[in-house]
Amino acid sequence: MANIHTPIPNLKLNDGNSIPMIGYGTGTAWYKSGDESKVDQACIDATKMSIGMGFYHQDGAEVYKTETELGTAIKQASVPREKLFVTTKVISNISDIPAALKTSLKKLQLDYVDLYLIHSPFFSDKKEEHQAKWKQMEELQGQGLAKSIGVSNYLPEHLDWILDGCTVTPAINQIEFHPYLQHVDLLKYHKEKGIATQAYGPLSAVTKGAGGPADDILNKLAKKYAVNPAEISLRWCIDQDIVPITTSSKEQRLSDYLRAMTFKLNPAEIKQINEAGSKKHLRGFWTHKFDENDKR
Ligand SMILES: NC(=O)C1=CN([C@@H]2O[C@H](COP(=O)(O)OP(=O)(O)OC[C@H]3O[C@@H](n4cnc5c(N)ncnc54)[C@H](O)[C@@H]3O)[C@@H](O)[C@H]2O)C=CC1
Ligand SMILES: O=CCc1c[nH]c2ccccc12
């Protein structure tokens, strides 16, 4: 069983900070559609378990309404703060980013987050507003409240707005990324500008896209490396320097995910997954915001 002793590599960001190359998400499986003040003990327990197993990189967001649970799990896990990498994101309270971060920090019971992200670009279609919001993000980083700052769900046109005149280039863009959503042009853009990529929904080809054209190659490689197709999907991200964010409430599944740290795909295998995956398009998140004809 892979466990806390399974070393997790780091990726160096453009600001000199380092991020562990797999994250545990407190969104999809855990977000509350209702009352935020109703504490979800199952979320605390699963998140604490993930930290205990070595998932020191934790991904939250104000919109998930689970920052209190994440903060409690962190506290109860008793791992030194400097060993953790904690992300949260702003979107509901984008009108006042400094206040939003302070509220998040209170819920998280932290003095700073390792990464603060603007959760999506869809709050405005005006370049000037994006630039003004990014300036506030830079100020929060300057105050030490966020060690790294970045964005999520941005496309090249949104990043262009920010990069025009920014002082700090976003460290990360967190996007939906899996064999059926490969974002080839966006990844090229990230590489040119020194922006790291985080992948949410990395298991989508195995979960939502099961039965698709990548099944055969994912199954074949799973057999070769004696893991599950999920771990091939995670490794496919890592071997492209992309940081996957996954989740589960099950110890066995989390342990299985960590096996992605125990082997490497070769370039030919990555290419085979890319080729098979490019035969299908699947977007699972923010579908109401992205143009349905946009296959990027
Ligand atoms: N920035 C953004 O807009 C977004 C960020 N996120 C972040 O990413 C995190 C992970 O996102 P997910 O889509 O949940 O990631 P994921 O694609 O890794 O899926 C994880 C889910 O797959 C299930 N699973 C694993 N193996 C399976 C199998 N063999 N068969 C069936 N189901 C299986 C797990 O139980 C879990 O519920 C979220 O919790 C959140 O923190 C997620 C969506 C949007
Ligand atoms: O971050 C993931 C997708 C997302 C966007 N808004 C919400 C609200 C609640 C849960 C997930 C999400």
Q: Note the pLDDT tens digit of each residue in 14-52.
A: 999 999 999 999 999 999 999 999 999 999 999 999 999
Predicted confidence at residue 291, as pLDDT, reads 83
Ligand nearest to the CA of 63: 2
Rounded Cα–Cα distance for residues 76 and 62 (Å): 21
Instruction: Please indicate whether residue 150, judged by its CB atom, sits closer than 6 Å to ligand 1.
Output: no
Q: Is the dihedral of CA 272, 278, 279, 282 positive or negative?
A: positive
Rounded Cα–Cα distance for residues 199 and 286 (Å): 14
pLDDT in tens, 226-266: 999 999 999 999 999 999 999 999 999 999 999 999 999 99
Please name the amino acid found at residue 278.
S
CA angle 204, 210, 211 (to 5 degrees): 145
Rounded distance from Cα 33 to ligand 2 centre (Å): 10
Predicted confidence at residue 290, as pLDDT, reads 87
Please name the amino acid found at residue 211.
G
Rounded Cα–Cα distance for residues 146 and 10 (Å): 18
Nearest by Cα to 175 from 37, 293, 283, 67: 283
Instruction: Please indicate whether residue 202, judged by its CB atom, sits closer than 6 Å to ligand 2.
Output: no
Q: Where are the beta strands (DSSP E) in 141-289?
A: 146-152, 172-176, 196-200, 242-246
Instruction: Please indicate whether residue 179, judged by its CB atom, sits closer than 6 Å to ligand 1.
Output: no
Residue 245 backbone phi and psi in degrees, to 5:
-115, 120
Ligand nearest to the CA of 204: 1
Q: How far is CA 218 from the centre of its chain?
A: 22
**Residue 75, token pair as written in the block:** 């506290």
Predicted confidence at residue 294, as pLDDT, reads 82
Rounded distance from Cα 247 to ligand 1 centre (Å): 5
pLDDT in tens, 187-203: 999 999 999 999 999 99
- Tell which atom from ligand 2 comes closest to the C-alpha of 152: 1
Q: Please tell me the pTM assigned to this model.
A: 0.98
User: Can 288 be counted among the known catalytic residues?
Assistant: no
Rounded distance from Cα 178 to ligand 1 centre (Å): 11
Q: Summarize the confidence of residues 71-85 as an average pLDDT.
A: 98
Instruction: Please indicate whether residue 13, judged by its CB atom, sits closer than 6 Å to ligand 1.
Output: no
Rounded to two decimals, the ipTM of the complex is 0.98
Rounded distance from Cα 39 to ligand 2 centre (Å): 18
User: Can 64 be counted among the known catalytic residues?
Assistant: yes
Predicted confidence at residue 123, as pLDDT, reads 97
Residues 6+ apart with CB under 8 A from 65: 31, 32, 36
Catalytic residue (one of 24, 64, 154, 257): 64
Rounded distance from Cα 200 to ligand 1 centre (Å): 7
- Tell which atom from ligand 2 comes closest to the C-alpha of 89: 1
Element (DSSP H or E) covering residue 101: helix 97-108
Mean pLDDT taken over the chain: 97
Q: Summarize the confidence of residues 159-178 as an average pLDDT.
A: 98
For residue 5, pLDDT beyond 80: no
Catalytic residue (one of 24, 57, 116, 119): 119
Instruction: Please indicate whether residue 53, judged by its CB atom, sits closer than 6 Å to ligand 2.
Output: no
Instruction: Please indicate whether residue 285, judged by its CB atom, sits closer than 6 Å to ligand 2.
Output: yes
Ligand nearest to the CA of 176: 1
Please name the amino acid found at residue 90.
V
How many residues belong to the chain? 296
For residue 1, pLDDT beyond 70: no
Predicted confidence at residue 293, as pLDDT, reads 82
Ligand nearest to the CA of 174: 1
